[in-house]
């Protein structure tokens, strides 16, 4: 019977525990394999154990056929590993080496693109888990479970890539697996250069997966730079100068309690039992349960976006029905009752569809862990990176937007914030600096914070730089009146930097302005808090989603606008004694002892027919970045959830407008950009 042990592993996945005929045939296959002397004895013993499990199922002696099938799968996987390990040892003894020259014709023409795309996706998920485990292992080199997670991920990628004939990936995974086996067997300690080598291997696997993805898009395949040198280093790290000491820069030694930590402090712990179970599900032929089958379904992003758009259209159409005169007349009671019931269903459908766009920030946060790890080594600083609230969910479409701001702020925290160990010692700080990345919900917003216990911002240095650039004059009274918030916000100005040395990490003043632009593009806000000598906090306030908004519908003349509810402080009808003017031009409202500048939307947007008498109008006080203005409107219509529509390329840069919405009466309502209006109210010039 011509069958290999890899074939046996693949066939077992297709078997059903209640199919006695197929199980009997499979048992005969295993029997033939157990007698094949080309396999090492250890592998044949594992195959024999799998045979016993299958035999118990056939004889009806197994109390749990599913569990027995799972055990058989584990045993066959262990047999494969033992066989490959024996082959690796034999190759090492014979001085043989793998030849990568045949990898140029990378994918056969008859390869199924859909299967290959699924492999790329699943391998990408495995490699992310492997990288997380490696970062955990660096903090705790004796964590055998973390070694197992990495080992099994690489092993799975190796086996599946061999099926697809992806030679480069198979060879790299094979050699990385052999290197990891030395760590697992405690032959070498995972730290220093060995840790760098393992992470370098993971990065190379990512690069190859990306290149395989490019091939599916008809792009040429080119062997990644550094592949050959990495293969040589993996074969014999010590001959290349790799050891458990740092291969780049060895930071000042610290105690075990103060060692660099790259694990989230409130991350859910995965027990050994859970990990074994999850790996068994991915590697063994256990019949998928109904629960696991229903827990996750892959849906193309385009299809999901289209579905959500259609739900939005349904909400708008339903609102138009609700406000129809036939219903508002109150004559058709039964129809009103049915529409009310439909309204509840539509609201729940909208809520459910929006939740489908939400994904946790976990993956984004863990990318930052790797960034901190690498930059800490590069700068020679000891840094503990901790996260909190990484399960906080945010709109999928926003994840890519916040990635760049986070990278810029983390890099700045490492380069400019956290001091070197000797500097921290002079100020009685612990030698290990801390960067904390956290996320939490606040009202209808998501708040993302980056804290560090570094040296913080020096107000005087920032002001001196601002004076040098002509942003302020050096009048002491004027400088004293500038708030800390206004001073710290200067670092968001394009090209503004107080760094004395420009490094390849930061210091050119190109980055923080990008941070603010990206955050504001998401209708969010960013603020800085700092105490010199004690650290800084960067806080981003972001909406949960870009698709809907809780808004207050207002009327000015015959036009309807929507103001974000979160930006509204209060609404008042002003009294004559509370209104004043500045230089007979600017109107101000005295509210609770504070003068608030008033802004007529009718004048800004050239709307005719608006109420001219201020005391007959309504002042809607809004706030942005700590600044308040009063928007003068004619009427507050009411609050409701608004489905946001983009304005398109032509109208996207209108000052004070961030989007549009189809109102229940079928007309278009413009969504106000409160931040833009506040800037206009504080002296910005309207560009005609």
DSSP characters over 463-489: HHHHHHTTSS---HHHHHHS-HHHHHG
Of 420 and 640, the one with more pLDDT: 420
Strand, helix or coil for residue 295:
helix
Residue 185 phi/psi, 5° resolution? -85, 5
pLDDT class for 288, splitting at 50, 70, 90? very low
**Distance, CA of 304 to CA of 396 (rounded, Å):** 11
Give Dmax over CA atoms of the chain in angstroms: 102
Strand, helix or coil for residue 44:
helix
pLDDT at 399: 83
**Distance, CA of 208 to CA of 119 (rounded, Å):** 13
Q: Which of 354, 521, 537, 360 is nearest to 441 (CA)?
A: 360
What tens digit of pLDDT does each residue of 60-112 get?
877 788 778 878 887 887 788 777 666 655 554 444 444 443 334 455 555 67
What tens digit of pLDDT does each residue of 242-267 get?
888 754 433 333 333 333 333 333 34
The answer to whether the CB of 436 falls within 8 A of the CB of 388 is yes
Stretch (H or E) spanning 633:
strand 627-633
pLDDT at 103: 39
**Distance, CA of 671 to CA of 403 (rounded, Å):** 26
Q: Does the structure show a pLDDT above 80 at 27?
A: yes
Q: Supply 311's token pair.
A: 């739900």
**Distance, CA of 619 to CA of 640 (rounded, Å):** 19
pLDDT at 652: 65
The answer to whether the CB of 607 falls within 8 A of the CB of 557 is yes
What tens digit of pLDDT does each residue of 530-544 get?
888 889 999 988 887
Q: In the CATH scheme, what architecture does the domain 359-543 have? A: 2-Layer Sandwich (3.30)
What tens digit of pLDDT does each residue of 602-659 get?
888 888 888 888 888 999 998 876 678 889 999 998 887 777 777 766 666 677 887 8
**Distance, CA of 132 to CA of 366 (rounded, Å):** 7
pLDDT at 620: 92
The answer to whether the CB of 647 falls within 8 A of the CB of 660 is yes
Rounded (10°) CA dihedral 198, 200, 201, 202 = 90
How many residues in total does the chain contain? Answer: 688
Residue 326, CA atoms < 13 Å, CB-side half-sphere: 9
Stretch (H or E) spanning 29:
helix 20-34
What tens digit of pLDDT does each residue of 303-357 get?
888 888 888 788 878 877 887 778 777 778 888 889 889 989 988 888 888 788 8
Q: Supply 469's token pair.
A: 């650039």
Rounded (10°) CA dihedral 559, 565, 566, 567 = 30
Of 649 and 527, the one with more pLDDT: 527
Q: Supply 664's token pair.
A: 């229940």
First CA to last CA distance, the chain: 83
Could you give the angle at the alpha carbon of 414 between the alpha carbons of 360 and 383, nearest 5°? 80
Question: Is 629 buried (19+), middle (13-18) or exposed (0-12) by CB count in 10 A?
Answer: buried
Where do the H-state alpha helices sit in 482-587? 484-488, 512-521
**Distance, CA of 206 to CA of 212 (rounded, Å):** 10
pLDDT at 296: 67
Strand partners, 526: 540
Q: Does the structure show a pLDDT above 60 at 687?
A: no
pLDDT at 567: 81
CATH of domain 111-246: 1.20.120.160
Strand, helix or coil for residue 551:
strand
Of 25 and 245, the one with more pLDDT: 25
Domain residue ranges of the chain, discontinuous segments joined by +: 5-94, 111-246, 302-357, 359-543, 548-681
Stretch (H or E) spanning 646:
none
Of 620 and 476, the one with more pLDDT: 620
Question: Regarding the domain delimited by 548-681, which CATH topology (the fold level of the hierarchy) does it fall under?
Answer: OB fold (Dihydrolipoamide Acetyltransferase, E2P) (2.40.50)
Q: Which of 202, 203, 221, 201 is nearest to 211 (CA)?
A: 221
Strand, helix or coil for residue 192:
helix
Contacts of 294 (CB under 8 A, 6+ apart): none
Strands, sheet with 618-624, edge to edge from the N-terminal-most edge strand? 568-572, 618-624, 627-633, 594-600, 586-591, 579-582
Beta strands 445-452 and 668-672 are unpaired
Q: Does the structure show a pLDDT above 70 at 268?
A: no
Q: Does the structure show a pLDDT above 70 at 555?
A: yes
Q: What pTM did the predictor assign? A: 0.61
Indicate if 548-681 has the same CATH topology as 359-543: no
Alpha carbon 5 to chain centroid, angstroms: 39
Strand, helix or coil for residue 606:
coil
**Distance, CA of 516 to CA of 490 (rounded, Å):** 11
pLDDT at 269: 33
**Distance, CA of 527 to CA of 513 (rounded, Å):** 13
Q: Supply 433's token pair.
A: 């600096």
Output b/e per residue, 400-433; b: 16+ Cβ within 10 A: ebbeebbbbbbbbbbbbbbbbbeebeeeebebbb
């Amino acid at each position: 019977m011509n069958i290999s042990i890899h074939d046996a592993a693949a066939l077992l996945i297709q078997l059903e525990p209640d199919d006695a005929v197929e199980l009997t045939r499979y048992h005969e296959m295993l029997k033939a394999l157990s007698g094949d002397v080309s396999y090492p004895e250890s592998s044949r013993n594992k195959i024999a154990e799998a045979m016993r499990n299958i035999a118990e199922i056939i004889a009806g002696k197994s109390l749990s056929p599913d569990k027995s099938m799972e055990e058989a799968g584990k045993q066959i996987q262990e047999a494969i590993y033992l066989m490959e390990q024996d082959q690796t040892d034999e190759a090492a003894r014979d001085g043989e080496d793998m030849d990568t020259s045949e990898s140029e014709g990378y994918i056969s023409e008859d390869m199924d693109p859909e299967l290959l795309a699924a492999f790329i996706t699943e391998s990408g998920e495995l490699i992310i888990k492997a990288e997380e485990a490696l970062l955990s292992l660096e903090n705790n080199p004796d964590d055998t479970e973390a070694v197992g997670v990495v080992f099994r991920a690489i092993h799975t990628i190796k086996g599946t890539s061999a099926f697809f004939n992806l030679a480069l990936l198979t060879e790299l995974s094979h050699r990385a697996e052999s290197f990891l086996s030395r760590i697992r067997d405690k032959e070498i300690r995972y730290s220093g250069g060995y840790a760098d080598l393992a992470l370098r291997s993971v990065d190379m696997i990512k690069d190859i997966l990306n290149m395989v993805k490019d091939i599916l898009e008809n792009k040429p395949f080119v062997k990644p730079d550094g592949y050959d040198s990495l293969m040589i280093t993996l074969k014999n790290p010590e001959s290349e100068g790799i050891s458990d000491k740092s291969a780049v820069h060895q930071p000042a030694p610290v105690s075990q309690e103060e060692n660099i930590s790259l694990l989230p402090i409130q991350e859910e712990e995965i027990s050994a039992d859970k990990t074994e179970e999850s790996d068994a599900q991915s590697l063994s032929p256990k019949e998928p349960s109904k629960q696991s089958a229903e827990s996750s379904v892959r849906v193309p992003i385009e299809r999901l976006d289209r579905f959500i758009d259609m739900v939005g259209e349904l909400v708008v159409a339903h609102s138009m029905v609700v406000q129809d005169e036939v219903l508002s007349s109150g004559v058709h009671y039964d129809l009103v009752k049915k529409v009310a019931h439909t309204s509840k269903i539509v609201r729940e459908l909208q809520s459910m569809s929006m939740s489908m766009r939400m994904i946790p920030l976990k993956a984004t946060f863990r990318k930052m862990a790797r960034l901190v790890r690498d930059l800490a080594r590069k700068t020679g600083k000891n840094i503990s990176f901790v996260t909190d609230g990484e399960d906080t969910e945010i709109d999928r479409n926003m994840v890519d937007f916040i990635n760049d701001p986070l990278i810029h702020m983390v890099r700045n925290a490492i380069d400019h914030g956290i001091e070197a160990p000797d500097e921290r010692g002079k100020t009685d700080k612990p030698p290990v600096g801390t960067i904390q990345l956290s996320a939490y919900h606040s009202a209808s917003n998501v708040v993302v914070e980056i804290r560090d216990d570094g040296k913080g911002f020096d107000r005087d240095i920032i002001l001196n730089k601002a004076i040098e650039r002509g942003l302020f004059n050096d009048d002491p009274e004027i400088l004293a009146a500038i708030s800390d918030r206004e001073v710290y916000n200067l670092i968001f100005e394009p090209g503004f930097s107080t760094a004395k040395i420009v490094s390849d990490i930061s210091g050119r003043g190109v980055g923080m302005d990008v941070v603010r632009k990206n955050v504001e593009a998401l209708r969010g806000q960013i603020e800085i808090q700092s105490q010199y000598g004690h650290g800084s906090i960067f806080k981003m306030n972001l909406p949960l989603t870009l698709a809907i908004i809780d808004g207050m519908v207002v009327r000015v003349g015959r036009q309807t606008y929507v103001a974000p509810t979160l930006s509204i402080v209060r609404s008042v009808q002003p009294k004559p004694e509370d209104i004043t003017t500045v230089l007979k031009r600017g109107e101000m409202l005295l509210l609770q002892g504070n003068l608030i500048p008033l802004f007529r939307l009718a004048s800004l947007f050239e709307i005719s027919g608006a109420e001219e008498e201020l005391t007959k109008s309504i002042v809607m006080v809004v706030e942005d970045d700590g600044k308040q203005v009063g928007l003068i409107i004619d009427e507050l219509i009411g609050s409701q959830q608004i489905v946001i529509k983009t304005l398109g390329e032509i109208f996207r840069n209108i000052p004070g407008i961030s989007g549009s919405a189809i109102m229940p009466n079928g007309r278009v309502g413009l969504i106000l950009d409160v931040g833009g209006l506040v800037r206009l109210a504080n002296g910005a010039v309207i560009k005609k």
